Amino acid sequence: MSKRAPKLQFTDEELAVPEVSKAAKKAAKRIEKLERLEAKIPMKNGAEKPRPASKLQHAVRDAPGKAVRSAVHREVSQHEDDNVGVESAHKLEEAAEQTVRAAETAHRSHQLKPYRSADRADARADSANLDALQKQAQQQSPELQSNPYSRWQQKRAIKKEYAAAKAGGGTVRASEVTAKAAKRAAEDTKKASEWIAEHKKGFLIALAILLVAVFLLNIASSCSVLTDGGFFGGTLEDLKQARRLVRLPLLRKDFIVDEYQLYQARTAGAAAVLLIAAVLSPGECRRLARTARELELEVLLEVHTPAELSHLNGYVDMLGVNNRDLGTFRTDVENSFRMVDRLRREVGGGEGPLLVSESGISDPETVVRLRDAGFRGFLMGEAFMKTGDPGHALAEFIVRLKEARP
C-alpha cells in the first residue's frame, strides 16, 4: 500500500489566522474524502488487495495474441466468400470475441474504480495540504517573503519536507514541516547570497545570459515532450529532465489511452496532456479529459479531420489541428486553414478552447497567416530539431517572426 496524504495538525493559535484556518479546513475535508474512498478499496488479510492491471498494461500483455488473432481473421476473410457457412461462423466468432473483450474491459474498469478514485482524492489532498503549509509558512517566516528568490526557496523546501513527512505516514504537525522548510530555505538563500558576493562578475555575466534565455522562453510559451517509446524512442525520463531544466508548462505528447498515463504525466511534472482523437472513441476521450481536469492537467485535443470534432467536450482546454496525417505521415499546413471555419463554429466565442495549429510550420509568415485565421497556439519542433543547433534556430525564428508581424 502506497503512502497517502497525511493529516495536518495545527494549533489553536495557528488557526486563529483566517488564511491559515481556511486552508486547513479545506485540507481536512480533502483528507476525510480520501479516507472514505480508501475504505472502499478491497482488503485481503488486513491489507489492500494488489491493484489490478490497467487497460494499458493489458494491451501491452495481450498485443502478441491480438496480432495472431487479427492475422487469422484476415486469412479467413480472404476465403469466406467461397463458403456461406464459413462466413457466418466467422462473423459469429468475431462478435463473440468482441463481446468477451467488452465484458473484460468493463470488469477491469469496475475493479480499478476504487483505486483510481482514491488516487484522485490523494492528489487533491496533497495539493490542499501544500497550500495550507504555504499559508502557515507565510505567517511563521515572514522574512522569507521579502524577495522572489527566498519565496521560491521556501516553496521548494516545503515540498521536500512534506514529501518526507508523507513517506513517514501518520498525522503531521504543520509547524514542524514549515519550521524545517524555513531553516532549509534560509540556509540555501544564504549560500546563494554568499556565492554571488564572491563571484559578482561571473554572476552578472550569467544573469545577462539568463535574461536572454528568459526572453526566448517567454516567446516559447510552453514545451512539448515526446514520451512515446514504441515509435519515437521517448521516455518519461525525458519529461522529468525537461521539468528540471525549464520552468515552462510542459505538454506530455504520447498515445494516451489509459488514466494511468495521466497520473504518470502529473507525477513527472507535466502541466498538460495530448489526447489524439484518431486513437480514442468520443466516450474514452471525455473520460480521460475529465480525469485530466481532476488532476489539474490541461487537455490539448488533437484532430485531423472535421469528423473527429465529435470528440470535443467541455473538459478540453485547447483544440489542435494536426497538419500531419497519422496514416501516411504526409504534412500539409493548409489543413489548418481548411478546418478553421468549422473549428470556430464548434468552439463558439472567446470562451471556447484555444485553437492550435500543429506540425508543418517552418516559417514566420505561416505563423502570421495562421494567427490572422484565428489560431493562437503553434506546436512546432521538427523545423528546429532538424538543424545542428535547435536553440539558435529558435532564436533566429523569433527575430524573423518579429519582422514578419505587420
- Regarding whether 256 and 184 lie in a shared domain, the answer is no
pLDDT for 207 equals 47
In the predicted structure, residue 275 carries a pLDDT above the cut 60: yes
Identify the domain boundary among 197, 223, 248.
Answer: 197
Strands 47-48, 172-173: pairing kind: unpaired
Question: Percent of the chain, pLDDT > 70?
Answer: 71
Lowest mean pLDDT: which of 39-43, 145-149, 328-332, 338-342?
A: 145-149
Look at residue 206 and tell me if it is in a domain.
no
Domain boundary among 137, 170, 197: 197
DSSP strand pairing (47-48 vs 43-44): antiparallel
Position 301 scores a pLDDT of 94
Whether residue 300 sits in one domain with residue 167: no
Domain count, the chain: 2
**Residue 146: per-residue pLDDT:** 63
Looking at the domain assignment, is residue 157 inside a domain? yes
State pTM to two decimals.
0.48
Closest C-alpha among 58, 53, 52 to residue 101: 58
Residue 6 has what DSSP assignment? P
* pLDDT reported for residue 16: 92
Residue 265 sits in a domain of what CATH number? 3.20.20.70
The whole-angstrom separation of Cα 97 and Cα 269 is: 39
Q: Are residues 187 and 224 in the same domain?
A: no
350 by DSSP, 3-state: which? Answer: coil
**165 plus 242 within the same structural domain:** no
pLDDT band at 57 (very low <50, low <70, confident <90, very high): very low
Residue 68: band (very low, low, confident or very high) from pLDDT cuts 50, 70, 90: very low
Q: Does some domain include residue 202? A: no
Residues 191 and 314 grouped into a single domain: no
The pLDDT of residue 60? 45
Q: Residues 137, 154: contact at Cβ < 8 Å?
A: yes
CA distances from 15 to 136, 153, 284, 393 (A): 9, 24, 43, 53
Same domain assignment for residues 59 and 189? yes
Question: What is the pLDDT at residue 140?
Answer: 82
* Domain presence at residue 203: no
Q: Is the pLDDT of residue 265 over 90?
A: yes
The residue that leads in pLDDT, 193 or 238, is 238
What is the per-residue pLDDT for 346?
81
Per the structure, the complete domain to which residue 32 belongs is given by: 1-197
- Report the pLDDT value the prediction gives residue 102, as an integer from 0 to 100: 61
Picking from 93-102, 227-236, 304-313, 353-362, which range would have the lowest pLDDT averaged per residue?
Answer: 93-102
* 282 and 317 housed in the same domain: yes
DSSP 41-72: S-EETTEEPPPPPPHHHHHHHHHHHHHHHHHH
Least confident of 12-16, 360-364, 381-385: 381-385
User: Has residue 364 been placed in a domain?
Assistant: yes
Query: Which of 319-333, 338-352, 370-384 bottoms out in mean pLDDT, i.e. has the lowest?
Result: 338-352
C-alpha cell at 327: 496514416
Do 24 and 171 sit in the same domain of this protein? yes
Let me know whether 324 and 235 are in one domain.
yes
Instruction: Give the separation between CA 388 and CA 391, rounded to whole angstroms.
Output: 9
What is the end-to-end Cα distance of the chain in Å, rounded? 59
Is residue 204 situated within a structural domain? no
The reply to whether 205 falls in a domain is no
Q: At what angle do helices 259-268 and 84-140 cross, to 10 degrees?
A: 30
Kindly report, residue by residue over 284-300, the tens digit of the pLDDT.
Answer: 999 999 999 999 999 99
The pLDDT, as a whole number, for residue 54 is 54
Same structural domain, 219 and 320: yes
Q: Which residues contact 347 (CB under 8 A, 6 or more apart)?
A: 312, 319, 353, 355
Domain termination residue (choose one: 197, 229, 251): 197
The model's confidence at residue 201, banded by pLDDT at 50, 70 and 90, is: low
Over residues 107-136, the pLDDT tens digits come to 666 677 887 788 888 888 888 888 888 888
Is residue 208 a part of any domain in this protein? no
Do residues 285 and 255 touch, judged by C-beta distance below 8 A?
A: no
Work out the mean pLDDT of the chain and round it to a whole number. Answer: 77
Q: Which residue has the higher pLDDT, 377 or 219?
A: 377
Q: Does residue 223 carry a pLDDT above 60?
A: yes
Does residue 44 sit in the same domain as residue 96? yes
**Among 23-27, 37-41, 132-136, 333-337, which stretch is predicted with the lowest mean pLDDT?**
37-41
Q: Does residue 83 sit in the same domain as residue 193?
A: yes
pLDDT at 82 over 60: no
3-state secondary structure of 386: coil
- Work out the number of other CB atoms within 10 angstroms of the CB of residue 198: 9
